[in-house]
A and B are shown apart, each in its own frame.
Chain A
Amino acid sequence: MSKLGLITKGLIKENPTFVLVLGMCPTLATTTSAMNGLEMGLATMFVLILSNIVISLIAPVVPDKVHIPVYIVVIATFVTVLQLLMQAYVPQVYETLGLFIPLIVVNCIVLGRAEAFACKNSVGDSALDGIGIGIGFTLSLTVIGIVREILGSGSIFGWKFIAGDGILAFVMAPGAFLVLGYLMVLFNKLAKR
């Protein structure tokens, strides 16, 4: 696969949200607004790229039977680094995303990429794979966030275009499931063309 292909495949062909359907929890929980979705996507991308790089480096020397625990420790380390950095430099973002930052550890996308790609490929390719899938994830989350923010609060990235409230259900839990469901339908429809 070409280097460019590694980056672009996460957008459509292997889109982590709409095609692989991985990492649903943060996708649903943190997309109450476009900004929140974007921030969550970037946070996940940070962990994804770094863990992909390190895992592709250490994979040849890790005994097969303990590879999962080793990968989890590596991922958890980067998640904790991210937690500490966010608490120190962007405390407000850390507060909004809350529980879902530590939960990146169990995001199936991160461990999934480690297992399916990083442990069998070169460092460079693994980094590109992390970037590609990360961008795909970030974009999906931002799109869901945009739709929910438009419908639920009548604004885009905090810029309000209607006075008053939107359809509140879309900011709340049911809206997350509904928007994701309908966006998947749209994605299926477009992907089939």
Chain B
Amino acid sequence: MAAVSNLKNMVLSLTLVCLVCSAILGGVFAMTSAPIKAAEAAKTNASIARVLPDFESEPAKESVTVDGTEYVYYRVPGTGYAIISTVGGFGGPLTLMVGIDEKGIICNTVVLSHSETPGLGAKCQTDASFIDQFKGWDPAAKKLAVTKDGGEVDAITASTITSRAYSAAIANAYSVYLKLGGNE
């Protein structure tokens, strides 16, 4: 039932299949690239809206290098910055978006991605008493470190490493803010 396996047939069928498949993929890619971009933008905007108070102007994506690490951030004129900061957590990278207003006060934080232990470190996404303590935090006055390390952050029970990473990520974001000349 199958065609003869001579060299011509084999090369021909493989080439043909590859061509047709690439064409289909090219088509689907062209079709979906706009919705994919829109979905990504919607996600970013939703995060920015969570970490910064109501804003009207369009956030502008920019990046800056602090201590050899490149940080991406969104500048919202008249409101503040939404800074993306990644540190090593307990199970892998922990990425936060930190909203800092123009006076250098932290508005809110949101976890963009993490690989912390479910039910323990992963609570950094849901535990309101942990997350809410950072709202209105002034890093210039209160030290961003867990109480064990001499700071003022109340750690999540049994998840000191995650809490430490979370605090460090915010502290990094704050140093980005300082570099941006926030306290003019």
B3 at the interface (CB under 8 A from A): yes
Q: Which of B12-20, B58-66, B129-137, B176-184 lies at the interface? A: B12-20
Q: Would B118 and A171 count as touching, CB distance under 8 A?
A: yes
Known contacts A62-B13, A73-B21, A88-B32; A172/B5 CB under 8 A: no
| Chain B count of residues within 8 A CB distance of the other chain | 28
Secondary structure class of chain A's binding surface, majority of residues? helix
B54 to chain A, nearest CB (A): 25
Q: Mark B1-30, 1 if CB is under 8 A from A, else 0.
A: 111111001100110011001001100110
Distance in angstroms between the alpha carbons of A61 and B13 in the assembled complex: 8
A69 at the interface (CB under 8 A from B): yes
Chain B residues in 8 Å Cβ range of A64: 2-3, 5
Q: Mark A85-129, 1 if CB is under 8 A from B, else 0.
A: 101110100010000000000000000000000000000000000
Chain B residues in 8 Å Cβ range of A166: 119
A63 at the interface (CB under 8 A from B): yes
Q: Would A66 and B120 count as touching, CB distance under 8 A?
A: no
| Interfacial residues, chain B to chain A (CB-CB below 8 A) | 1-6, 9-10, 13-14, 17-18, 21, 24-25, 28-29, 32, 35-36, 39-40, 43, 113, 117-120
